[in-house]
Structure 1
Amino acid sequence: MDYLIIALQLIVGLSILNVWLVQPTKNTKWRGGNATTIVEEFQAYGLPVWSVYVVGFIKVVLAVLLLVAIWVPELRFYAAIGLAAMLTGSVLMHVKISDPLFKSFPAALFLVLCLIIAFVPANPL
């Protein structure tokens, strides 16, 4: 089970970092409304531009902590729960603007993975 949880931590952590640090201006089918960038997406949700940077900072820090938790397991629960809370907000923003269901799929999937990371024991006996 340890390897599965570590794999999930890598998938979620690296994916969040990719979205926020590598591809924030990439147009994808997952963006809310008709947005082509993260800033436009937050505007589509009716959120101020400054919130992009606050949410981005929080998600990047939590993603890094989730990766660090591979070596410092005490951080795993807190990083995963923090990301789960943030991802819940992501799903709710898609619902708020009546996006098609598929647009919230990545956030919903990573939310479920974070809950697995947080609540499934890494080494059950």
Structure 2
Amino acid sequence: MSLGGIALVGSQATLGLAGLAVGGAKVTHQEDQVDDFQRFGYPQWFRVATGIIEILSGIGLLAGLVWHPGLALVGGLLLSGVMVGAIITHVHIGDPLSKTAVPAFLLALTAALLAGQHLVQL
């Protein structure tokens, strides 16, 4: 496997685990997540729905490593959508750049992963 292939697999695994971790924190009612969604002005059911989407994205990214690569595409698109929403939320409520940096980094990494996978398939 080439260095680029190793980087793609590592990025996909990292993003998959990140999706599971942050989604898990939301659906298990971690205090910081509950507080953040209250601060954002979102209802708590939206926190749980967001967590489920993040978990599904993580499963898709990880399953794409083992089974069909199309699962990684779906997982990456789901995670990208959540990260766009997170960035918009942080900017809208006036959070400092440090709060926006993590979702922006995850969005950039997901976009790079999806672009890299597309290039490999060509």
TM-score bin, normalised by smaller chain: 0.7 to 0.9
Matched, 1:49 2:52: no
Q: Which amino acid aligns with 2:59?
A: V
Q: Quick one: percent identity of the two aligned structures?
A: 26
1:119 to partner: Cα distance: 1.5
Change (3 A) 1:95 1:22: closer
Q: Indicate the residue corresponding to 2:98 in structure 1.
A: 102
Q: Which amino acid aligns with 2:45?
A: W
SS in 2 for 1:69: helix
1:44 to partner: Cα distance: 0.8
SS in 2 for 1:99: coil
Q: Indicate the residue corresponding to 2:18 in structure 1.
A: 15
For residues 1-125 of structure 1, the aligned pairs below 5 Å read 1-21=4-24, 25=30, 37-71=32-66, 72-121=68-117, 123=120
What is the root-mean-square deviation of aligned Cα atoms in Å?
Answer: 1.9
1:104 to partner: Cα distance: 1.1
Tell me how many residue pairs correspond in the alignment: 115
In proportion to residue count, which structure has more helix?
2
Structure 1 residues 51-60 or 113-122, which shifts more? 113-122
CA distance in 1, matches of 2:35, 2:73: 32
* Contiguous gaps of at least 5 residues in structure 2: none
Change (3 A) 1:75 1:89: same
Higher RCO (C-alpha 8 Å, min separation 6) = 1
Q: Deviations over 1:71-119 (max 9, x none)?
A: 2212222211121111000111111110000111111100001111111
Q: Deviations over 1:6-60 (max 9, x none)?
A: 10011111122222325862xxxxxxxxxx6111111111101111111111111
1:124 to partner: Cα distance: 6.3
* Contiguous gaps of at least 5 residues in structure 1: 26-35
Q: Which amino acid aligns with 2:120?
A: N
Change (3 A) 1:123 1:44: same
